[in-house]
């Protein structure tokens, strides 16, 4: 269904008002970035917390995505980081949120979108703020962008934190392998879960081509919560919760949330550089489970992924040359950016260190904020001359989504099943 001109104008007006409020409330600044055709992008960014002095340096943060905004979604993070004494810089990714439009008020276009340009945007922000070097913190897609930044601007990096790290386009291969090894074949804690998954797939109650729900329940509630969901499905229960979870996954790429999550302009990076639709030939995996279905139709709008394209950086090539400290944060439940990728990065980086987090899934920046800030503070202090002391095997705390999922499971288990009519 197409949007009427009146509704489009109203939506644009609401967006403009919300953007104006955000610029004032979040103390947003901007730096002009040149675009092809004589256009200019007023790139938005924030800088919060006490200013760095002496040998201390700011922390430059790249969120996940691409498509996740930096300003509105991370107001609470910045407030907590300020209390921890962090000088925090966050750049609104080009094509997203407050950096979506040029100075004429026109949306950016696909050709404006590469990770290299986004990395150069961050360097321009550092220039505007008079910052010579920074601790670079990137999570998920942001970890890839952090590495691109390091490859293009190595002189600006004091240290690096890669949270739920990826190395390039074949992250999808690693993720699918981890998904199937964990939930189809079964591991130390998921052997019975895998038995249940296989039985439900064979019985036609689970679609292996859309295993997002399996991935999400494992990440946020662990094998125990996933086992409860599978038991409900086995009994013909929990359908509403299962459908709701899958709508959460699809909405991220099919529905824009203005100033929060906007995938529609930056999806070229996802498909052209990082093969989010997993179109490249994939090595044999141990099972049929996959989660890329939401991306496949969108990917057809672009030229096919080409690993030889200049935009597609395999960061394995540059990691051995990164001579700064690199801390890699990895959750034991993370099937999106699995542990073996983090371990590979630590092995490639000359000064790599792994922080393995128990009872944690994806992106400490988003789901374990206190831990993320603590690690950023420790790495920043190390860049100022202190010894690098990292937390020993920290544990994740229950997240709001985890509590909500468990509550819905409990409700599904306790509500009597409707009596079938004769």
Please, what is the end-to-end C-alpha distance for the chain in angstroms?
Answer: 40
Which of 53-67, 284-298, 302-316, 404-418 has maximum average pLDDT? Answer: 53-67
92 found inside a domain: yes
Q: Which helix (H) or strand (E) holds 61?
A: strand 59-62
Q: Structurally, how many domains does the chain consist of?
A: 2
pLDDT exceeds 60 at position 127:
yes
274 and 409 co-located in one domain:
yes
294 and 217 co-located in one domain:
yes
Give per-residue pLDDT as tens, 146-192.
999 999 999 999 999 999 999 988 888 899 999 999 999 999 999 99
250 and 300 co-located in one domain:
yes
CA distance 297 to 278: 12
320 and 288 co-located in one domain:
no
Q: Which domain holds residue 251?
A: 184-308+401-414
CA distance 235 to 212: 20
**Residue (of 311, 256, 257, 267) closest to 110 by Cα position:** 267
CB 268 within 8 A of CB 110: yes
Averaged pLDDT score across all residues of the chain: 91
| CATH assignment at residue 150 | 3.40.50.1820
Mean pLDDT of the region 233-245: 93
Give per-residue pLDDT as tens, 86-100.
999 999 999 999 999
Q: What is the pLDDT of residue 293?
A: 67
Residue 422 — pLDDT band, cuts 50, 70, 90?
Answer: very low
CB 135 within 8 A of CB 59: yes
Residue 59's DSSP bridge partners are 88, 135
Residue 1 — pLDDT band, cuts 50, 70, 90?
Answer: very low
Q: What is the pLDDT of residue 421?
A: 44
Give per-residue pLDDT as tens, 57-89.
999 999 999 999 999 999 999 999 999 999 999
Structure tokens that stand for 80 in this block: 């907590």
CB 266 within 8 A of CB 64: no
């Amino acid at each position: 269904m197409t949007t009427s001109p009146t509704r489009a104008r109203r939506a644009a007006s609401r967006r403009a008002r919300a953007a104006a409020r955000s610029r004032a409330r979040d103390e947003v600044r901007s730096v002009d970035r040149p675009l092809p055709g004589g256009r200019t992008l007023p790139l938005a960014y924030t800088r919060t917390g006490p200013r760095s002095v002496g040998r201390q340096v700011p922390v430059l943060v790249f969120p996940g995505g691409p498509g996740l905004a930096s300003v509105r979604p991370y107001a609470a993070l910045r407030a907590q980081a300020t209390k921890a004494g962090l000088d925090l810089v966050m750049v609104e990714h080009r094509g997203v949120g407050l950096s979506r439009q040029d100075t004429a008020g026109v949306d950016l276009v696909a050709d404006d979108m590469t990770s290299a340009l986004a990395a150069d945007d961050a360097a321009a922000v550092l220039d505007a703020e008079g910052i010579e070097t920074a601790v670079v913190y990137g999570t998920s897609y942001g970890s890839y962008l952090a590495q691109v930044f390091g490859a293009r601007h190595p002189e600006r990096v004091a240290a690096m934190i890669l949270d739920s790290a990826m190395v390039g386009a074949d992250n999808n291969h690693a993720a699918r392998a981890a998904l199937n090894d964990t939930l189809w074949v079964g591991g130390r804690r998921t052997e019975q879960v895998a038995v249940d998954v296989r039985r439900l797939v064979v019985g036609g109650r689970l679609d292996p081509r859309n295993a997002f729900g399996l991935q999400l329940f494992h990440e946020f509630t662990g094998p125990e919560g996933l086992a409860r969901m599978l038991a409900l499905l086995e009994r013909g229960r929990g359908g509403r919760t299962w459908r709701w979870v899958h709508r959460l996954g699809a909405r991220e790429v099919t529905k824009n949330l203005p100033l929060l999550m906007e995938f529609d302009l930056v999806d070229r990076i996802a498909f052209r550089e990082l093969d989010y639709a997993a179109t490249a030939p994939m090595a044999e995996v141990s099972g049929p489970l996959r989660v890329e279905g939401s991306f496949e139709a969108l990917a057809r709008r672009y030229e096919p992924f080409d690993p030889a394209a200049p935009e597609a950086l395999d960061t394995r090539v540059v990691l051995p040359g990164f001579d700064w400290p690199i801390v890699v944060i990895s959750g034991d439940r993370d099937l999106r950016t699995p542990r073996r990728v983090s371990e590979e990065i630590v092995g490639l980086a000359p000064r790599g260190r792994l922080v393995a987090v128990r009872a944690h899934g994806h992106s400490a920046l988003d789901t374990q904020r206190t831990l993320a800030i603590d690690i950023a503070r420790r790495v920043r202090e190390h860049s100022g001359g202190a010894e690098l002391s990292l937390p020993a095997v920290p544990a994740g705390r229950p997240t709001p989504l985890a509590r909500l999922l468990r509550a819905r499971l409990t409700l599904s288990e306790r509500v009597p099943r409707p009596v079938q009519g004769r």
